[in-house]
Amino acid sequence: MDEVFKALAGRSRRRLLDSLNARNGQTLRELCAGLDMARQSVSKHLAVLEAANLITTRRSGREKLHYLNAEPINAIADRWITQYDRARVHALADLKRALEANPMSDTEFVYTTYIKTTPERLWQALTDPAFTARYWGATFETDWRTGSPMTWRQRNWVGEDAEQVVLESKPYTRLSYTWHAITPEFAAEFGLPPAEVADWAREPRSKITFELEPQGETVKLTVVHDGFEPGSRILEGIRGGWPAILSSLKTLLETGEVLPEPVES
């Protein structure tokens, strides 16, 4: 947490966060132009923000894209804001709301967290029904081989679809699969408005990717949910669901405690 507070103390770094909050996924060149700052200065500030996990980066061809990451702010809020008078942490709470108000671009969700575990254990937590049922409330029936079909089960809903497949499977490193089909049965099970769900079903199928990177005693987990069109209603929904699911995953792996009722997707 010390690194987070240090990073937030710099006005220029807060300006960079504001810029990414307004438009996420920017290159270094775009950030320099938008803030009228020297490239070397921006690079140094971005390094501090990335070390504090306030931003995360991904390669897209030859370009390096920068994304705002709200996970550290959520962690600070959970530890401090809920225990102390609201007035004393007004600025931090406002920043938390700002980061969550528009945390990602309008076509993808990117989120990074660090979990004190091993790549093998984290991979098991992402694929083993005994784990996914506890922190997510969902299970997946598949052999986790590239191209294999997936059957989703959540509460009394069963999702099966020919396009519901494993896209990439590199044990302990990278896992990607298509998101489940949006069906009337899904809407009925979770009490969702049929008309609204019908609109969701007309959207292109999205995909989820988990990237695992060992970092000493922890594993850096980057979650990318993309394939959305601008203005996607499904993206609006998953933005609120993923942080809670990933927080539950982290808690389970680091404490082994039985979690509250699983989070619904």
pLDDT in tens, 204-237: 999 999 999 999 999 999 999 999 998 898 998 8
Give domain status of residue 264, yes or no.
no
Same domain, 95 and 134: no
51, 66, 60, 81: which is closest to 17 by C-alpha?
A: 66
Same domain, 177 and 46: no
Residue 38, pLDDT score: 84
Residue 7 vs residue 261, higher pLDDT:
7
pLDDT digits (tens, 9 = 90+) for 66-115: 988 877 776 666 555 555 544 444 444 455 544 544 445 678 888 888 89
Give domain status of residue 23, yes or no.
yes
pTM exceeding the 0.85 threshold for the entire prediction: no
Boundary of a domain, candidates 84, 103, 122: 103
121, 152, 122, 124: which is closest to 138 by C-alpha?
A: 152
Same domain, 25 and 148: no
Same domain, 192 and 251: yes
Total tally of structural domains belonging to the chain: 2
Boundary of a domain, candidates 103, 124, 153: 103
Longest CA pairwise span in the chain (Å): 56
Same domain, 41 and 160: no
Mean pLDDT within 114-139: 95
Same domain, 135 and 74: no
Residue with structure tokens 């993309």? 226
Domain interval for residue 7? 2-103
Same domain, 35 and 98: yes
Give domain status of residue 265, yes or no.
no
pLDDT digits (tens, 9 = 90+) for 162-208: 999 999 999 999 999 999 999 999 999 988 888 888 889 999 999 99
Residue 75 vs residue 151, higher pLDDT:
151
Same domain, 91 and 165: no
Same domain, 60 and 166: no
Residue with structure tokens 């550290």? 72
